Structure 1
């Protein structure tokens, strides 16, 4: 995660490694039965070994053999303090896939790009998608997401919203790997600008890309598929125009072209003005009947759903509802709440749910533990930044803990 409520910083993206102890129980109400213990951290650097930042991009950096990489030029130390300034690669990391050699595939919102990092955290592959995904302003590529840095809140792109490509903060949110097909899949959080991405009521048709990793053991990814995923909708009680799109936050490949899809509303949860969420689901979609549109709408203004209306010659992936995270009776078994009058209640669910993982249930074929995780968006009163040099307290006044829910599910 690259930013907090104060603005973007030169925070160096990283992988945290934890050991997890899970003790399933039938006791109700149950005490917490999932424990984390910190083990290690892997910091991300660019192909030259220079640390990467989370600052909103203002330019690009060029490395031999790579596409233009989004980057930010900053003053001081990049956190609002004194320093020499500089220019660093910028990523907003979202999805994570581990490879067989100890490295990592990371999906990014800024580009939107996909990056591969070695086990030591150095970037060695960068995947730039087709022009339809690249944000344009004034006719040229512009990777800013309108998230100014903490030291310059007036750093706003013009225009604020791109004229085509991924919308602000709606890049490659979901990332998953299918070992049977040796394929990497990534999904936009919601529709591109030209596909209706300018409004919550029209941004339903998100694009999914499929990369073949079988060539040279994954070192030469090949784009072989592009599909439309129709995201769920819900009625937002705080808005006058409905229904609204439930933007997705994660995907997880199940095989045979099937995926889990974590889709949700936004702005509802602990520390928000409204605490009760309307829609937090883990749904399912299938590519079995979906149209492969690769090469058909990949230009800068190529549109699959002008103003949010899907073109009649395109069949979107079939999506169906599966699991509702917000069921109060289930949450109550663990002392948890979806909404409430006490906005600082420890059991209130966080707003952002963005991670999925499956683990087989030992001795039960076809059954799995499904882990769904949230992040705290750096919302804390007891934090540190810049490698512990500076104390940090979020202006909201809240302390949000990372949260994780575990479900037992059957998947055929």
Structure 2
């Protein structure tokens, strides 16, 4: 499917936010609403391209199939309808880009903004020759809807947090503390070592940052409280200096909290540690299950989507060993906000990922096993096995929550939880650059976007 700009709709499941005011139960018993869905950067498998960041508006229609079973499974009961797309631009109205940020050098700067990650590229950024251009580089990974209709985006290149207007113009940028900012050779380096498709031999030295967020491990999770006052952002895994360079040691990740209640002022108020779960790989080794999204429930409680990688639709290995939607609570977690931990190279764990003794992480509670075979079979889905339409995609990266019936259903504790997969632009019939650039993913696969919907009861 292509958006109204002629480009492939892409991985709409990088993050999702459902308009609460649009969600309703219809007279025929179906449910409907509108979701805002975020594709991340283009062409993840073979390199980056000058894909203009954007958000898609998608209509949802859910028909419940309460009697579905493995013996009598339901057909697809969720309909998606493409409605609209908003393209993102920088503070000056120039389109943003998904190209990997420059390794070093000067960044673009604007009045009232911190220095922004910048990509410098020749021609059109899709491989053609031409004059050199520079754009703000954004790797969109997480999404929150502000009460005023603006968009908040969690980014991996910075890692930064951006606010965009209803028409897609960047309004502000939050630069987190220096401990988060990637450094190579003792200099700020926003590159994620993801060269463009037209220059795949470009070498980044060293490949991984010495401190700050590790490559592609930025703000994978972002959520705004129901009253619109607080913004939560969680890194995908630990910072480089806290064990983040290795899958086995990158467990202690940081949650940062901002007060955004005053439109004219953003206040950094809290910072906590979330100890991510461990999972087994197929060779038996234990690794960290990275954060793929978070969603504020109430008070100090948030949902988190944690999973393994490189297993599922679009991958050689189709059987995932760990995909869960869990809950963490920061009520009793240490607030590590301080000059000591937030300075460049500041660390709350050693390079082996061992948390310092005086720091208490968030409480973590297992909740939903996405890979539950008996539940998947009710809807003709499966984890592992053949590459067919029922195989779960590899990347599940977004969470959206809406009430079943906020006024009458179990005192407002019953919800539908939407979980979307990101198909990573894995298609053999792709288009970018407003339909002018054609591509086929080197994997040879053609992946549809997938959505799972759970009916759950949350504690009051």
> Normalising by structure 2, what TM-score?
0.87
Work out the CA distance in 1 between the residues paired with 2:203 and 2:99: 13
Q: Does 1:31 align with 2:75?
A: yes
Q: 1:3 aligns with which of 25, 36, 42?
A: 42
Distance, in Å, in 1 between the alignment partners of 2:130 and 2:442 is 24
Find 1:103's aligned residue among 136, 150, 155. Answer: 150
| 1:353-376 deviations in Å (ceiling 9; x for gaps) | 010011101231200000000011
Which residue of structure 2 lines up, in the alignment, with residue 46 of structure 1? 90
Give the Cα–Cα distance (whole angstroms) in 2 for the partners of residues 144 and 320 of structure 1: 34
Residue 84 (structure 1) shift: 3.3
Aligned equivalent of 2:375, options 323, 330, 349:
330
Is 1:234 matched with 2:270?
Answer: no
SS of 1:214's equivalent in the other structure is strand
Q: Secondary structure at the match of 1:73?
A: strand
Instruction: Give the equivalent residue in structure 1 for 2:10.
Output: none
**Contact kept in structure 2, 1:147 and 1:156, CA below 8 Å:** no
Give the count of matched residue pairs.
406
State the distance in 2 between where 1:395 and 1:370 align: 33
The corresponding residue for 1:185 is 232
Alignment partner of 2:179: what SS? helix
Q: Distance in 2 between matches of 1:104 and 1:224?
A: 21
The Cα of 1:345 is off from its aligned counterpart by: 1.1
Q: CA deviation at 1:392?
A: 1.6
Deviates more, 1:108-117 or 1:15-24: 15-24
- Asked whether the equivalents of residues 146 and 228 of structure 2 are also in contact (C-alpha less than 8 Å), the reply is no
Aligned to 1:354: 397
Which ranges in structure 1 are unaligned for 5 or more consecutive residues?
Answer: none
How far the C-alpha of 1:92 sits from its partner, in A, is 0.3
Find the aligned partners of 2:380 and 2:131 in 1 and give their Cα distance. Answer: 49
> Structure 1 pair 257/152, CA: closer, same or farther in 2 (3 Å)?
same
Aligned to 2:348: 304
Instruction: Give the secondary structure class of the aligned counterpart of 1:3.
Output: coil
Q: Identify the residue that residue 267 of structure 1 maps to in structure 2.
A: 310
How far apart in 2 are the matches of 1:82 and 1:387?
18
In 2, Cα distance between equivalents of 1:82 and 1:238:
45
Residue number in structure 2 paired with 1:61: 108
In structure 2, the CA distance between the partners of 1:273 and 1:238, relative to structure 1 (3 Å rule), is farther
Q: Residue 244 of structure 1: which of 287, 295, 300 is its match? A: 287
1:382 Cα deviation (Å)? 1.4
Cα deviations across residues 132-155 of structure 1 (Å, max 9, x unaligned)? Answer: 000000001000001000111122
Write the distance in 2 (CA, Å) between the matches of 1:244 and 1:395.
27
Contact residue 78 and residue 85 of structure 1 kept, 8 A: no
CA distance in 2, matches of 1:222, 1:408: 35
Tell me the distance in 2 between the aligned counterparts of 1:238 and 1:334: 30
Matches within 5 A, 1:277-288: 277-288=320-331
Contact 1:376–1:402 (CA under 8 A) maintained in structure 2: yes
Contact 1:180 1:255 in 2 (8 A): no
The corresponding residue for 1:316 is: 361
Alpha-carbon distance in 2 for matches of 1:15, 1:200:
30
Write the deviation string for residues 53-100 of structure 1: whole angstroms up to 9, x where unpaired.
000001521111111100100012101124433011000001111112
Name the CA distance, whole Å, in 1 between partners of 2:134 and 2:147.
32
Match of 2:161 in 1: 114
CA distance in 1, matches of 2:233, 2:294: 8
Selected match of 2:57 from 17, 35, 41 = 17
Matched, 1:131 2:175: no
TM-score normalised by L of structure 1: 0.97
Q: Decide which moves more: 277-286 or 357-366.
A: 357-366
Q: Which residue of 1 aligns with 2:12?
A: none
Q: Is the 8 A contact 2:146 2:224 kept in 1?
A: no
SS at match of 1:308: coil
